[in-house]
Each structure stands twice: as structure tokens, then as C-alpha cells.
Amino acid sequence: MKTVLKIGTRQSKLALWQSLHVADRLKKSHPELEIELVKIVTKGDKVLDAPLAKIGGKGLFTKELERALLDGSIDIAVHSLKDLPTVLPAGLIIGAVTQRAETKDALVSEKYASLKALPFGAKVGTSSLRRRAQLLALRPDLNVVDVRGNVDTRLQKVSDGHLDALILAAAGLQRLGYEKKIKEILPYDLMLPAVGQGALAAECRAADEETLELLAALHDEKTALATAAERAFLALIGGGCQVPVGVHASLIGEKIILTALIASLDGKKAIKRKTEGAALCGKELAEKLAEEMLSAGGRDILRETGLL
């Protein structure tokens, strides 16, 4: 069994929290294990002056980490699962998916208590096409602007008055201790989350049996089943992380409930559907739902965005 494990991580405060969380969990399960964090800069971290969708939607925050895995520089890469493309490079797999935290998005604002309370024309920041589309579907009057950078940088734009509000993943805010900045957790009927939102993924080499054995202590099967269904939906849609698509799967006993949305960038066109079935058939249900939604107009909506 390995005595030293190298964890690849991005350098943002949230990425470091996530990697340290995984390291702590591993140490508790394997006290003899020595863990080294290897900080890596990704393309998504370097290019901050352009919307994510314009600099390439797939692997923006993962490719450099995956290269380090493939050349043996690191043993695992820790990702927010929502950032991980549905197709991994040959030789790599998801070795563990952690128990999911809050999956919903959150509204942050200095002056306004809710999305509904925002005034006409309020300036709302997000880097996500999915959030943009759903915001404009609810409030076409809003001025939705692209905002990049780490969580602290984005929050500062609200504090400085450059933005009336900001939409971020609630899980990230909670992990960094910023719960008090959340004014509203947006329910699923207002804002469907990104695929895999709230879960962490530990990616490793498929042939690295020792690392896979270590990662088994982190794996949460319930979260894995739900997020596998969500990822199957996105994979069949054919989009990367940056598409106006929201998906959420929840497990209740032996049943999985899957809700999905395909929307135009302006929010004027949207197809939203729900399905349910046996939890172990989640991927098949998700693929069937994706086919139905694409045939019902979703394919045309995505083609109009230029992202399909």
C-alpha cells in the first residue's frame, strides 16, 4: 500500500479547501499516509478577461490536472464534480465521489433579500450560461453580466457596489464559511443546478489499484448514483460544462427522480421535464429523458446558442 499520495489541486481558496478536505478524510482512514498537495494552474484560472463559454467549455479547470495524472506527477486530482467533463481522457477514471453538500444555487446581495426583491434592471453577476438563462426566464428585466475570478473576487464586486447581486453555488459559499452572505437559497423550481453540483470527485489513473483502494473510504454510493445519472444526461446532450442546461437527480429509497432543463441563452425558450424510476437504472433514465427533450425542441434550442 502507498505511504505517500500526491494530490493535484487548483490554487483558489475553494479548490484548496476541497483538496484539504479530501486529504483530511484520507488521513482519518489511513493515518500512516503522507499526503502532499501539488498546486497546478489551469487555463480557466489564467484567462479571466473572457466568458467561460468563449474560451472553451470543456476541461477549462481540469486538463492540466489530468496531464499531471497521466505523466505520474500526481496520484489524484480533486475537482468540483460540476467542472469535470463527462468524457475523461483514456486511462483516467473517477475513483471516488464524496457525499454531496448543498446542490442549490444561492443569491448574494448587500441590499436585497431575494431574487424577487431585486429592482427592475438590477445588475446580477454570474459566469454560468445555465444561471443566465434561468435568471432571464424568471426576470427578463435583469441586467445579467459575466463575472469571473475566485469567490472572494466576485463577492468584492457586490461589496463595492459594482453588482446588485451575485449567483453562486451555495456549497462553495458554505465550504468557505460565507453562509451569512447568502440571502436566498434558490429552489429547484427557480434554478436547476449544474450537473454534479455540490459533490467532489477524486480522479485517478484507472490502473492505479493502490490509489483506488485508498479512495474507497471517500466514496458515497448514493451521491455517485445521482451524479452518474446527471452526467449521463449531459453526455448525451453533447455539451460541456458551459451549456444552458440544468439537471438534478435525487434518490428516495430505491427510486431516482431526475429533473432537467434545456434553455435558450435569453431564457425565452425552455424545455423542462421530469422522470423517475429505479435508482440503479438512473443512467438509462437520464439518456431516455435527454433524447426526449432533444427531440421536443431542445436540439434546436442548443443549436441556436451555437454551443451544440
| pLDDT tens figures, 255-279 | 999 999 999 999 999 999 999 999 9
Instruction: Tally Cβ neighbours within 10 Å of residue 38.
Output: 15
pLDDT for 50 equals 45
The torsion angles phi and psi of 105, rounded to 5 degrees, stand at -90, 160
Tell me the residue type at 29: S
The amino acid present at 278, given as its one-letter code, is A
Question: What are the structural domain ranges in the chain?
Answer: 4-98+199-219, 105-185, 235-305
DSSP bridge partners of 77? 8, 203
Dihedrals φ, ψ of 13, to 5°? -60, -40
Question: In this model, does residue 219 exceed pLDDT 70?
Answer: yes
Please say whether the beta carbons of 194 and 241 come within 8 A.
Answer: yes
**Is-same-fold flag (4-98+199-219; 105-185)?**
yes
Amino acid 184: pLDDT: 98
* Domain at 4-98+199-219, CATH homologous superfamily: Periplasmic binding protein-like II (3.40.190.10)
Of the residues 83, 105, 164, 208, only one is catalytic, namely: 83
Q: What is the mean pLDDT of residues 31-37?
A: 95
Architecture of the domain defined by 235-305: 2-Layer Sandwich (3.30)
83 is catalytic: yes
Q: Report how far apart, in Å, the C-alpha atoms of 258 and of each of 34, 133, 171, 244, 274 are.
A: 40, 20, 20, 17, 6
Q: Is the pLDDT of residue 98 over 50?
A: yes
Would you state the pLDDT for residue 162? Answer: 94
Mean pLDDT score across all residues of the chain: 91
Please state which CATH number belongs to domain 105-185. 3.40.190.10
Q: pLDDT digits over 128-168, tens only?
A: 999 999 999 999 999 999 997 889 999 999 999 999 999 99
Q: Per residue in 169-180, pLDDT tens?
A: 999 999 999 999
Residue 113, Cβ neighbours under 10 Å: how many? 11
